[in-house]
Chains A and B, each alone.
Chain A
Amino acid sequence: MRTGKLNGPLFLLALLALWELAAQAEWVNALIIPAPSKIGKLFFDLVLSGQIPMQILVSMKRALTGYLLAAAVFIPLGIFMGLSPTVYKFFEVIVEMLRPVPPPVVIPVALLFFGLGDEMKIFVIFFSCAWPILLNTIDGVRGIDWVLLNTARTFGLSRAKTILQVILPACSPQIITGLRVSLPIMLILVVISEMVGSTDGIGYFVLDAQRRFKVAQMYAGMLALALLGYTLNQLFNLLQRWLMPWQRGRGELE
């Protein structure tokens, strides 16, 4: 069992060694596929010089702004759409019309309105993250059992308190699901919008490196993106545990 757990990392190391060897021995064109050691070294240089952290900071500011804006708008909207059939019907057609639009094609619209600035990316991310957050919130609210709602009523809770103290926590698992699904979408869209229309950010950094034929730098940027994606996921897990302490250990027991 213990040795089995090591198979994965060992295989990865073997692949890297093979790649290194192939690049060193020039079995492959080292201009296009540089040695991993070279990429790794450059990556560390770029991290230590602050270049990569800077670009990531720029990207994350845009990404999180759009993401949090989407959460701030679409969680409340989802709650009201889930609670009231009238509100749901009012927005249903508009939502169904906008939802099939593949998010990247919103970039030109955003370019038209906002130019190359931060607002452009923020809007694109806001739009793309909207649907998973909205639809999951609606599902969550609709799935709340009537016993729970009647419990709130029999204890004389006001409408506002019922929403804040009962409905919101009761559908928080679904809201979290929506936010989790939106997280990689956020990352993809910030990268795309920086590739299509930007002069900075990690997405621009990678595409620009390719255009200038700084191949190792391009791979270093991709490595940074992979690490960023992984870190975001881990941070999200931490946040979830902190936000929903009652779910800790639940999966292990049931």
Chain B
Amino acid sequence: MSILEVHALSKSYRQAGGDTTLAIGNITCQVEAGEFVSFVGPSGCGKTTLLMTIAGLLAPSSGRVIVNGKEVSGPPANLVLLFQEYNKSLFAWRSVLGNVRFGVEARGAAAPAADAKARKLIALVGLKGFESHYPWELSGGMQQRVAIARALAYEPEVLLMDEPFGSLDALTRLELEDTLLRLWAELKTTILFITHDIEEAIYLSDRIWVLSRRPSQIVQEIRSDFPRPRHQVTTRAEARFMALRNDIYRQIGNQGTP
């Protein structure tokens, strides 16, 4: 049994004028426990809608989402969604420690244990020494590290990530990719990742689903079986990496403009 199953999922919106548009058309896929899977697609293809529907934050128009054998009808307890907008999703009124502890507390852990666990995770994301800082005192990359630590503190079986590094600069982005891989290997969480950066998807994932333009559908499934641990220089320099990148690029590029 897969940890996450999506069956014939579709989602349409009613627009301001009263017309309905189809954002997601008929997506079916499965994620196995411990896997790292990515959706790649052109911007505006409804990736965020897809992730919010899987996370139980939006109700699907048709189809089903099943997490760990249970059909999703609201935000499931063993799944958490991490947003791209770290500056909006972090609690401005809580310190770094407080934010991460929130994740533990939301799980229902007792206070003293929560503190120790939060500190451990802060160290894991590389923010030791910043426990008492407030989010506004940190750079964007550090803020997203806090958000990741907070999400992991919740101990989700499935972690959904909506273009988490999309608004960071290139170098910070590479650093955070490696941090994420390290945490994933250590904590054995299942990760479903969304990005419009093809290379990022190849570098991080076991499998990649290429999405079409609206209404988004899976046009291709691609395996990215480079040996782990991966390395920003050597992995990306492999000829196969480039071939895969070009392959996906053609898939996305071929769809033409709507």
Contacts and interface: CB of A to CB of B under 8 A. Distances in A.
A and B touch in the complex (CB under 8 A): yes
Interface of A: 145, 147-148, 150-151, 153-157, 165-166, 169-170, 172, 244, 246, 250, 253-254
A156 B102 CA distance: 11
Contacts of B94: 246
B57 A246 contact: no
Contacts of A166: 91
B130 interface: no
Nearest to B83: A147
Contact of B106 (A157, A244, A250): A157
B140 to A, nearest CB: 15
Contacts of B56: 154
Interface residues of B, number: 25
16 contacts: A147-B85, A147-B88, A148-B89, A148-B91, A153-B75, A154-B57, A154-B79, A155-B75, A155-B80, A155-B154, A156-B75, A156-B77, A165-B102, A169-B91, A244-B93, A246-B136
Given A154-B75, A246-B94, 7 more contacts: A147-B89, A150-B83, A154-B55, A154-B81, A155-B106, A244-B93, A246-B136
A156 B89 CA distance: 15
Interface string B220-246: 000000000000000000000000000
B81 A150 contact: yes
Interface in B28-78: 52, 55-57, 75, 77
B249 interface: no
A246 B85 contact: no
Given A154-B57, A157-B106, A170-B93, A246 B134 contact: yes
B57 A153 contact: yes
B95 A246 contact: yes
A246 B89 contact: no
B141 interface: no
Nearest to B135: A246
Given A170-B93, A244-B93, A250 B136 contact: yes
A244 B83 CA distance: 25
B187 interface: no
Most chain B C-beta atoms within 10 Å of own C-beta, residue among A151, A246, A250: A151
B92 interface: yes
Contacts of A156: 75, 77, 106
B25 interface: no
A250 B55 CA distance: 34
Contact of A151 (B77, B89, B95): B89
Interface string B130-169: 0000101100000000000000001000000000000000
A147 B77 CA distance: 18
Contacts of B83: 147, 150-151
B159 to A, nearest CB: 10
Nearest to B136: A250
A244 B95 CA distance: 12
Contacts of B77: 156
Contact of A148 (B81, B88, B95, B103): B88
A246 B92 contact: yes
Nearest to B78: A156
Contact of A246 (B80, B81, B93): B93
A145 B102 CA distance: 19
B192 to A, nearest CB: 13
A169 B52 contact: no
Q: 7 nearest interchain CB pairs? A: A147-B88, A155-B106, A169-B93, A154-B81, A151-B89, A246-B134, A145-B88
B102 A155 contact: yes
B80 A172 contact: no
Most chain B C-beta atoms within 10 Å of own C-beta, residue among A154, A155, A165, A253: A154
Contact of A150 (B52, B91, B93, B103): B52
Interface string B162-181: 00000000000000000000
